[in-house]
Chain A
Amino acid sequence: MPHTTEREDTRYHLASTLMRESLLDKEVQQSTEVPVFRMLPDTHVIKIGGCSILDEGRAATFPVVDALVTCLATQKLIIGTGGGARSRHVFAIGIDLGMPAGVLAELAQADALGNAHILGTLLAPYGVVAIPPHIFGHLLPLFIRTAPGVIFTGVPPYALWEHPPALGRIPPHGSDAGSFLLAECFGSQDLTLVKDVDGVYDKDPKRHPTANFIREISVTELKKRQLETLPFERIMLDLLGHARLLKQFQIINGRKPAQIIRALGGEHVGTIVYAD
């Protein structure tokens, strides 16, 4: 820790290792690079897609619920939901009305919360319910020790404080990012993103039937390849690059619900994206 002698410091300090320091000083920042405590190492964070699963109705959702129920018998699940089609719709209307990204982020939370309640209703017989975001973080350890799983709004509480996107108006922190950040903060064992494709392809598989599947890939390699589309939010690459605890995540196909059980069991069934 750098020590400083101040000239005429007339501020009132509370003694600490960071006392008088600028938190923007790179040396001070480096000195805070210390190991992190894992709060919930035995939990699995799993994100259920809005567009890809819940919006498809009973045909896609019920088998996913059945797979989750199987897992809940032996595993602790923290389940995030995306906003899906309604978020896309409110983005289009909001952009037309001149709303900034922060307002769109605020609006998107409502759709993800709605989907959390939809999933919460279907999992209610198993004691798994949707918890609203303002109490979720603080009470998560309690919930997860009293129920086999909990459901949260995957979209993180960035709202008006969403970062201005580099391109366009869509809030960069969606439900993939929210699920990642939660798993990283609580030190969960793993993160699984449930989509309607098998994983990452070199081209969008919905438009290019000949696209090649990529079974595993690093952040650096994915950034280098600059694929036109990804089956997860692009900001995930930055978040994973800065992760201290969660060094990879897996994308799986929820239309093949057995993959959920296998992925949560630690198997490699979809695409694993890892930090180098």
Chain B
Amino acid sequence: MTRELLSALGQYLSEGSLSDARLLTQTGLEPPLPILPKANVIKIGGQSFIDRGRVAVFPLIEEIAAKLGQHDVIIGTGGGSRARHAYSVGLELGLPTGVLSVLGTFVSMQNARMLNYLLAKYGIPFIEPAQFAQLPHYLAERGAVIFFGMPPYSFWHENPPLGRIPPHRTDTGAYLVSEVFGARSMIFVKDEEGLYTADPKKDRHARFIKTISVAELKALDLQDVVVERPVLEMMQHANHRRSIRVINGLKPGNLTRALQGEDVGTLIYAD
């Protein structure tokens, strides 16, 4: 068969093994293009934020609405208490991680739908993974779009190294959207100021960490961290989104400050 391929890379790829490190190196020589470099991805926590109801959610919705047109935002949602309930029921029944992933997806979808109705009057759509091809259009038209944070792995979800709970949940799903689109920022909206040395809800001696590298964070080997650990791994391999910010969305103005690039909350970066 004669092959007339675009590039030497095309030749390597058609003939070589994708397990060969030399070939893989060739595929990464040119960085990928940022697809939506002006967009910001915001993840709104489930247990930490949406489960608090209107006291927490309404002011944040107002803050997002006030900034429409100034900052493009792609909004992902967490699961929270109901996801914990579903995981707990599923674990007791012995359901595999892939099925728990499906259950978690439904909860983050409920949260996305509720935020969608709260922002409906501004013409902000909720999209499922199958509709992501329309995301750039919605963003250009309305300046915001809502998606459910869970990545669509469903039955194909990888097992965690420890336990049975799906390791790639809504933090990871939102982060991956920011990386694949080459977004301007990845902001996690939670109910704490950012990262602490321990869970500040349980340990009053927990110390706040303002800025930290992934390597430093890994070296601390904390019992508990503020974002899913796979996000830290992925940041180290990322082409675009090599830092993330965790902010306290309960404090009015924090999200706006983060969108403006101010140093609010905790910044975690890959070296």
Residues on A close to B: CB < 8 A? Answer: 4, 6-7, 9-37, 39, 85, 88-89, 91-93, 95-103, 134, 137, 140, 156-170, 173-174, 178, 181-182, 184-187, 204, 228-234, 239, 242-245
27 sample A-B contacts, Cβ–Cβ < 8 Å, listed by A number: A6-B201, A7-B204, A12-B51, A13-B47, A13-B81, A15-B85, A18-B88, A19-B85, A24-B226, A25-B199, A36-B95, A39-B96, A92-B5, A92-B7, A100-B180, A102-B179, A134-B130, A137-B155, A158-B156, A160-B180, A161-B153, A185-B97, A185-B155, A234-B19, A242-B160, A244-B159, A244-B164
User: In the bound complex, do residue B223 and residue A95 qualify as a contact, i.e. CB atoms below 8 Å apart?
Assistant: no
Of the four ranges (under 10, 10 to 19, 20 to 34, 35 or more), the interface on chain B belongs to 35 or more
Is B121 close to A, CB under 8 A?
no
- A25-B224, A166-B237 known; A89-B94 Cβ under 8 A: no
Tell me which of B30-38, B62-70, B207-215, B261-269 binds A.
B30-38
B7: chain A residues at CB < 8 Å are: 92, 96
Closest to A187 in B: B96
B82: chain A residues at CB < 8 Å are: 14
Residues on B close to A: CB < 8 A? Answer: 5-7, 9-10, 13-14, 17-21, 23-28, 30-33, 35, 47-48, 51-53, 55, 81-82, 84-85, 87-89, 91-99, 102, 129-130, 132, 151-165, 169, 173, 176-177, 179-180, 182, 191, 199, 201-202, 204, 223-230, 234, 237-240
Complex formed: what's the CA distance from A126 to B228 in Å?
46
- A23-B84, A96-B9, A242-B160 known; A37-B17 Cβ under 8 A: no
Which of B14, B84, B229, B239 has most chain A Cβ within 10 Å? B84
Closest to A29 in B: B163
Closest to A94 in B: B32
User: In the bound complex, do residue B159 and residue A184 qualify as a contact, i.e. CB atoms below 8 Å apart?
Assistant: yes
Closest to A55 in B: B1
B51: chain A residues at CB < 8 Å are: 11-13
Q: Is the interface of A mostly helix, strand, loop or mixed?
A: loop
B17: chain A residues at CB < 8 Å are: 204, 229-231
User: In the bound complex, do residue B182 and residue A100 qualify as a contact, i.e. CB atoms below 8 Å apart?
Assistant: yes
Q: Identify which of A9, A12, A24, A158 contacts B224 (C-beta below 8 A).
A: A24
B37: shortest Cβ distance to chain A, in Å?
Answer: 12
